[in-house]
């Protein structure tokens, strides 16, 4: 915040002193003072007590953002906040009911009075005086009829619907936000039925506003009977895309024409609805489902005047839900495509191996992360992990090209890993569209003298492999380092060799496991080393799962591929006894 004194305004401390020195210090009213920007510049002791906030916590903060709330506890849009409007009015406003948020997160029901206040010759502000008001019991609140919305409130509601629903691509989150938007302003019950694959209908969300909170009624959710193609009843019509319709319990009395109507009658009875409005949720291409809003108690019934507003809400909801559905579909296709490009691991009697692959959170982020493991003609085993630069379908296609070229070179040339990687680099430059990539390629050979394995490997710009011994010693294999693929320099690639003793674990991984925005790479590497050392006694499957859980950064927006190998105990060609001995 700008310095008040530098801007020619009285400092908050000066205002607070002036206020505390007056009669407001002893009145049984909460009082706080705002400047003309809505910033709190003073508060009396009674306000501190009622709000459970110190003056230091209040001064310098925007009063609307930190205090003003709706009856459901959510922040109010400024356009519909009566206290904010009164502050902007510049004149004494009549006493207004409202809610203020206390320091502990609870709501304080108040009656407030706003009066203009002049700080000096040029600066004006406003005083807000408030005291506790009586609140009806939760059952009485639910029974009170929802107040009719003004035109301004309708516009604010629609704007909030658009902003909040289109800012998520998760269907469940969108439905939760929809319930918070319409309840209790329009109804106490919010029911969403969605049409899924094969035209199956599912009651996806049932939310009840009671006792000042939204309660999800999962017991009322579940599959619904098929949509009747000729039923004139409201829900069937809405799911066919017909216009919004009013409904009452009488709508579902007598002999019903479909199983869907029977389920709707059960909903009316379970929720004790006396009035409902049912509207189709239409996406740009198809009908996605239906929204039912229901009222209970003494609340006034819906009327035809409510239909246009609900149509606008469901139209916006339809766009948001279709976007979320397309996103999920794209994500599934991308994951399926990428997983089909990745190989299955061979089964080796004296080496345990497993992989993990996690897609990026963004469905468009089809990455170039890959792994591979395959036997070679001389009896050794090739292992590799890599990453093609990019996060799109081109990167995924490039990943498949690099992996297949590496396989061909490794199989057809009896050379060390460094020579194979150099051939790969040269080939990628001339016969693919891959711009840059990283890889670790190695050959695993049985070490009969030590009853373990030897790893010969070469690293082309990739994060170093991690070797963890059974006693907890863990180190990164840094002996082989080289430039990434695609630089055009085709440098010589040096090999390195390391022994993998019995019960040791080798971890190959991509940078998505250790990199995150705002954190240095060394920190991610150290986290990986420490947690891998702590988990090394776990069975390999459990080791990998827990390692991903502990190490993968929360802000990760990249794919993660991980290949883990474990050498069995000395003289044991079956890793299963180790699983029992480790015991987690």
Q: What is the pLDDT of residues 135-194, one digit of tens each?
A: 644 444 444 445 567 777 778 788 888 888 888 888 888 898 998 888 888 889 999 999
Distance CA(556)–CA(384), nearest Å, equals 23
Strand partners, 358: 560
In the chain, residues under CATH classification 3.60.40.10 are 342-582
Q: What is the mean pLDDT of residues 395-401?
A: 75
Residue 583 has pLDDT above 50, yes or no: no
550 and 499 Cβ atoms separated by less than 8 Å: no
- The radius of gyration of the chain from alpha carbons, rounded to an integer in Å, stands at 33
Q: What is the mean pLDDT of residues 550-566?
A: 84
pLDDT in tens, 289-329: 999 999 986 568 888 888 888 889 999 998 988 888 887 77
Provide the CB-side half-sphere exposure for 327 (13 A, CA): 16
pLDDT, greater one: 93 or 458? 458
Distance CA(247)–CA(503), nearest Å, equals 69
Distance CA(268)–CA(192), nearest Å, equals 14
Residues 51, 52, 56, 58: is their CA dihedral positive or negative? negative
In the chain, residues under CATH classification 3.30.450.40 are 151-330
523 and 530 Cβ atoms separated by less than 8 Å: no
Sheet bearing 40-43, strands edge to edge: 40-43, 30-35, 124-132, 107-118, 93-101, 68-69
Q: Mean pLDDT: which of 139-143, 361-365, 578-582 is highest?
A: 361-365
Residues 358, 363, 367, 371: is their CA dihedral positive or negative? positive
- What confidence category does residue 225 fall into, taking pLDDT thresholds of 50, 70 and 90? very high
Burial-class residue 378 by CB neighbours within 10 Å (0-12, 13-18, 19+): exposed
pLDDT at 408: 93
- What top-level class would CATH report for the domain 12-135? alpha beta
485 and 498 Cβ atoms separated by less than 8 Å: no
- The residue among 365, 400, 366 whose CA lies nearest residue 386 is 400
328 and 357 Cβ atoms separated by less than 8 Å: no
Q: What is the mean pLDDT of residues 224-232?
A: 90
75 and 98 Cβ atoms separated by less than 8 Å: no
- What confidence category does residue 3 fall into, taking pLDDT thresholds of 50, 70 and 90? very low
Distance CA(138)–CA(141), nearest Å, equals 5
- What confidence category does residue 340 fall into, taking pLDDT thresholds of 50, 70 and 90? low
* Residue 42: other Cβ atoms inside 10 A: 28
pLDDT at 143: 42
Please give the CATH number for the structural domain made up of 151-330: 3.30.450.40
61 and 42 Cβ atoms separated by less than 8 Å: no
- The residue among 380, 460, 391 whose CA lies nearest residue 426 is 460
Written as six digits, the tokens of 270 are 């379970």
pLDDT at 142: 42
Written as six digits, the tokens of 372 are 């591979």
Q: Mean pLDDT: which of 117-121, 347-351, 527-531 is highest?
A: 527-531
Strand partners, 458: 441
Read off the DSSP letter of residue 485.
B
pLDDT at 148: 63
Contacts (Cβ under 8 Å, ≥6 apart) of 432 = 398, 401, 402, 405
- What confidence category does residue 236 fall into, taking pLDDT thresholds of 50, 70 and 90? very high
- What confidence category does residue 497 fall into, taking pLDDT thresholds of 50, 70 and 90? very high
pLDDT in tens, 41-99: 889 989 998 999 998 889 989 888 889 887 767 777 776 677 776 666 666 777 778 88
Residue 338 has pLDDT above 70, yes or no: no
Please give the CATH number for the structural domain made up of 342-582: 3.60.40.10
pLDDT, greater one: 554 or 53? 53
Mapping DSSP to helix (H, G, I), strand (E, B) and coil, where does residue 282 land?
strand
**199 Ramachandran zone, left/alpha/beta (phi>0; psi -120 to 50):** left
In the chain, residues under CATH classification 3.30.450.20 are 12-135
pLDDT at 70: 78
pLDDT, greater one: 539 or 519? 539
324 and 168 Cβ atoms separated by less than 8 Å: yes
Residues 89, 90, 95, 101: is their CA dihedral positive or negative? positive
130 and 101 Cβ atoms separated by less than 8 Å: no
Written as six digits, the tokens of 369 are 């992360």
Provide the CB-side half-sphere exposure for 154 (13 A, CA): 12
Written as six digits, the tokens of 436 are 């840059």
Question: What pairing do the DSSP bridges indicate for beta strands 201-210 and 496-500?
Answer: unpaired
Average pLDDT over the chain, rounded to whole?
A: 82
pLDDT at 230: 86
pLDDT in tens, 402-453: 888 999 999 998 899 999 999 999 888 888 877 788 999 999 998 877 677 9
Residue 8 has pLDDT above 70, yes or no: no
């Amino acid at each position: 915040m700008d310095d008040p004194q530098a801007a020619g305004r009285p400092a908050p401390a000066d205002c607070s002193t002036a206020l505390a020195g007056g009669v407001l210090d002893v009145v049984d009213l909460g009082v706080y003072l705002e400047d003309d920007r809505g910033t709190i510049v003073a508060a009396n002791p009674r306000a501190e007590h009622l709000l459970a906030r110190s003056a230091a916590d209040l001064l310098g903060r925007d009063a609307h953002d930190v205090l003003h709330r709706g009856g459901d506890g959510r922040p109010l849009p400024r356009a519909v906040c009566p206290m904010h409007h009164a502050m902007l009015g510049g004149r004494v406003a009549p006493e207004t009911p409202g809610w203020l948020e206390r320091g502990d997160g609870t709501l304080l029901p108040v009656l407030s009075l706003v009066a203009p206040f002049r700080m000096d010759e040029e600066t004006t502000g406003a005083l807000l005086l408030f005291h506790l008001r009586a609140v009806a019991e939760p059952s009485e609140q639910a029974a009170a009829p929802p107040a009719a919305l003004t035109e301004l409130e309708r516009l604010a509601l629609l704007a909030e619907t658009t902003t909040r629903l289109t800012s998520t691509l998760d269907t469940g989150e969108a439905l939760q936000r929809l319930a918070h938007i319409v309840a209790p302003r329009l109804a106490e019950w919010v029911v969403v039925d969605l049409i899924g694959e094969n035209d199956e209908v599912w009651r996806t969300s049932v939310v009840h506003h009671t006792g000042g909170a939204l309660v999800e009624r999962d017991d009322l959710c579940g599959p619904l009977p098929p949509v009747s193609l000729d039923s004139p009843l409201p829900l069937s019509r809405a799911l066919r895309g017909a216009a919004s319709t009013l409904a009452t319990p009488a709508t579902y009395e007598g002999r019903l024409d479909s199983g869907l109507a029977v389920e709707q009658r059960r909903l009316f009875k379970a929720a004790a609805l006396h009035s409902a409005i049912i509207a189709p949720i239409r996406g740009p291409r198809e009908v996605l489902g239906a929204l039912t809003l229901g009222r209970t108690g003494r609340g006034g019934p819906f009327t035809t005047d409510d239909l246009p507003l609900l149509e606008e809400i469901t139209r916006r909801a339809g766009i948001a839900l279709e976007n979320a559905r397309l996103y999920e579909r794209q994500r599934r296709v991308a994951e399926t495509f990428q997983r089909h490009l990745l190989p299955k691991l061979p089964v080796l009697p004296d080496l345990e191996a497993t992989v993990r692959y996690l897609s990026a959170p963004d469905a468009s982020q089809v990455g170039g992360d890959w792994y591979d493991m395959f036997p070679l003609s001389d009896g050794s085993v090739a292992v590799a992990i890599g990453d093609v630069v990019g996060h799109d379908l081109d990167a995924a296609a490039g990943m498949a090209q690099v992996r297949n070229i590496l396989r061909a070179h490794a199989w057809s040339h009896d050379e060390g890993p460094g020579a194979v990687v150099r051939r790969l680099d040269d080939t990628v430059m001339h016969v693919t569209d891959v711009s840059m990539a990283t890889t670790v390629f190695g050959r695993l050979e049985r070490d009969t003298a030590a009853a373990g394995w030897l790893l010969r490997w070469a690293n082309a710009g990739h994060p170093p492999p991690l070797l963890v011994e059974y006693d907890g010693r863990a180190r990164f294999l840094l002996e082989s380092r080289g430039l990434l693929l695609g630089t055009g320099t085709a440098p010589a690639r040096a090999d390195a060799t390391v022994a993998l003793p019995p019960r040791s674990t080798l971890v190959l991984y991509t940078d998505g496991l250790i990199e995150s925005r705002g954190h240095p790479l060394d920190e991610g590497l150290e986290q990986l080393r420490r947690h891998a050392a702590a988990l090394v006694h776990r069975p390999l499957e459990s080791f990998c799962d827990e390692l991903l859980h502990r190490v993968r950064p929360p802000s990760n927006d990249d794919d993660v591929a991980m290949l883990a190998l474990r050498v069995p105990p000395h003289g044991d060609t079956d890793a299963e006894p180790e699983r029992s001995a480790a015991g987690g």
